[in-house]
């Protein structure tokens, strides 16, 4: 039916080209397929006018993922520990640390907890250094591109407040960083708080 209507128009190439342009104004392409089309022909004749093109604007794509800063990662890890959200902490452990704990349930049961009379008041990042290579001498493992940080914690227990510094190590992993938080020596023969 359409071909029979278009057959008389093919005798007048100028009219066919004008109709092609007009049809192109009403033709849309899915936004995710703009890059696939450079020229799209609406007519079947070789003498037709310019083909309908997709709009000149580029399709909207999501921004590239941004990795979390090592300091932000460590502060989130410690906040989860202070809140007793140990199940969420498990996903933040490096694979070596997860193997040392022996599984999620062992980690949740054995991770150090703040006592009822202890409160984490503040934590600060003193220094962050990304090392090309670092060897954990206690666990005899070497890692590349390690974030070595000195964290300062201020805690209160009953009426007494104190501040202490602790060095922690994070290793790169998919989606950001993972912490090397191993179980205490009494649990599996490794050092307490080795991070």
Alpha-helical regions (H) of the chain:
2-6, 13-26, 70-82, 86-90, 95-101, 104-110, 185-188
Cβ-based neighbours of 90, under 8 Å, separated by 6 or more: 98, 104, 107, 108
What pLDDT score does 19 carry?
62
What pLDDT score does 193 carry?
47
Q: Which of 15-19, 123-127, 182-186 has the highest mean pLDDT?
A: 123-127
CA angle at 126 for the pair 115 and 121, rounded to the nearest 5°? 30
Mean pLDDT of 9-16: 67
Write down the domain spans for the chain. Answer: 1-61, 70-188
Two structure tokens written together for 193:
């708080």
Order the strands of the 160-173 sheet from edge to edge.
118-136, 141-157, 160-173, 176-179
Structure confidence by residue, pLDDT tens digits, 140-179: 899 999 999 999 999 898 889 989 999 999 999 877 899 9
What pLDDT score does 41 carry?
52
* Residue 111 φ then ψ, to 5°: -65, 140
Q: Which of 123, 128, 117 is nearest to 80 (CA)?
A: 123
Torsion sign (Cα): 114, 93, 145, 79: negative
Q: Could you give the CA distance from residue 69 to residue 165 in angstroms, rounded to a whole number? A: 20
Residue 190's pLDDT band (cuts 50, 70, 90): very low
37 or 158, greater pLDDT: 158
Q: Which CATH code for domain 70-188?
A: 3.10.450.100
Structure confidence by residue, pLDDT tens digits, 107-140: 999 888 777 788 888 999 999 999 999 998 888 8
What pLDDT score does 90 carry?
93
Structure confidence by residue, pLDDT tens digits, 38-79: 555 555 555 555 666 666 666 666 555 455 789 899 999 989
Q: Could you give the CA distance from residue 54 to residue 26 in angstroms, rounded to a whole number? A: 10
What pLDDT score does 99 carry?
92
């Amino acid at each position: 039916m359409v071909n029979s209507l278009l057959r008389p128009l093919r005798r007048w190439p100028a009219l066919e080209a004008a109709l092609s342009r007009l049809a192109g104004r009403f033709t849309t392409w899915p936004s995710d397929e703009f890059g696939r089309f450079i020229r799209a022909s609406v007519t079947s004749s070789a003498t037709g006018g310019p083909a309908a093109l997709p709009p000149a604007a580029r399709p909207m794509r999501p921004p590239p993922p941004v990795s979390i800063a090592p300091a932000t990662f460590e502060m989130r890890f410690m906040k989860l520990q202070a809140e007793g959200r140990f199940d969420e902490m498990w996903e933040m452990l490096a694979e070596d640390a997860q193997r040392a704990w022996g599984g999620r349930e062992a980690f949740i049961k054995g991770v150090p907890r703040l006592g009822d009379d202890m409160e984490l008041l503040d934590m600060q990042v003193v220094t962050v250094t990304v090392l090309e290579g670092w060897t954990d001498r206690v666990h005899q493992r070497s890692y590349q591109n390690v974030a070595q940080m000195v964290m300062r914690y201020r805690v209160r227990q009953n009426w007494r407040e104190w501040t202490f510094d602790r060095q922690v190590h994070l290793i790169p992993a998919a989606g950001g960083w993972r912490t090397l938080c191993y179980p205490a020596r009494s649990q599996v023969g490794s050092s307490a708080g080795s991070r």
